[in-house]
Chain A
Amino acid sequence: AQSVTQLDSHVSVSEGTPVLLRCNYSSSYSPSLFWYVQHPNKGLQLLLKYTSAATLVKGINGFEAEFKKSETSFHLTKPSAHMSDAAEYFCVVRGGTGGYNKLIFGAGTRLAVHP
């Protein structure tokens, strides 16, 4: 069965410093992995996705994530945090095969950015 574990429920950084949001996955086959962001009172927005192509995936707003099979990790990073990055971030793995496009969500990491 597929699952994801987000290792930190809250992360706090200063503006201009690097961001690291950690995610480990469990999958019985080559997974498809996603990071979504949810701003307050907004819907979920796709940041980036990994689907067995390049292991370093670049997303929107300067975010990127690296798929490391040996560590079963898919950590999200950004070199320099901006105030507008404050939001909830979800690591997601595709859980189904064939036509069943099931997404399994992690518990989320709330990112706070301080001036």
Chain B
Amino acid sequence: EADIYQTPRYLVIGTGKKITLECSQTMGHDKMYWYQQDPGMELHLIHYSYGVNSTEKGDLSSESTVSRIRTEHFPLTLESARPSHTSQYLCASSGTGEETQYFGPGTRLLVL
């Protein structure tokens, strides 16, 4: 079944740790996105990718980095987590010429 997956769903980690949030989609979409959502707030785009080896910064400045080595995979990395990184991170994808973005279930990150 075509879908978009995120792991882990929940992560509690100490300050200074390196973390990677995984996002994979099986829909063959070329475009992928990462959004950050604080509780009760709107989503803000932090990274997007047009395709393999293409990554761009979004509207909201973020200390995270992303990579796109394979079409289906778009991981997000924080080299040194801080409490200010506590948030929900949502991954999305869309196909060529398609405006609709399909979202994963999100990762809730808590940095202590």
Asked whether A43 and B103 contact (CB < 8 A) given A105-B43, A108-B42, the answer is yes
- Fill in one digit per residue for B1-32: 1 if any A CB lies within 8 Å of its CB, else 0: 00010100000000000000000000000010
Please give the distance in Å from B46's CB to the nearest CB on chain A: 12
CA distance A40 to B42 in the complex (A): 15
Residues of A in contact, count (CB < 8 Å): 22
**Which residues of B sit under 8 angstroms from A106, Cβ to Cβ?**
42
Please give the distance in Å from B13's CB to the nearest CB on chain A: 19
**Which residues of A sit under 8 angstroms from B94, Cβ to Cβ?**
101
Please give the distance in Å from B63's CB to the nearest CB on chain A: 21
A90 touches B43 (CB 8 A): yes
Q: Interface of B with A (CB < 8 Å)?
A: 4, 6, 31, 40-45, 48, 50, 59, 90, 92, 94, 98-106
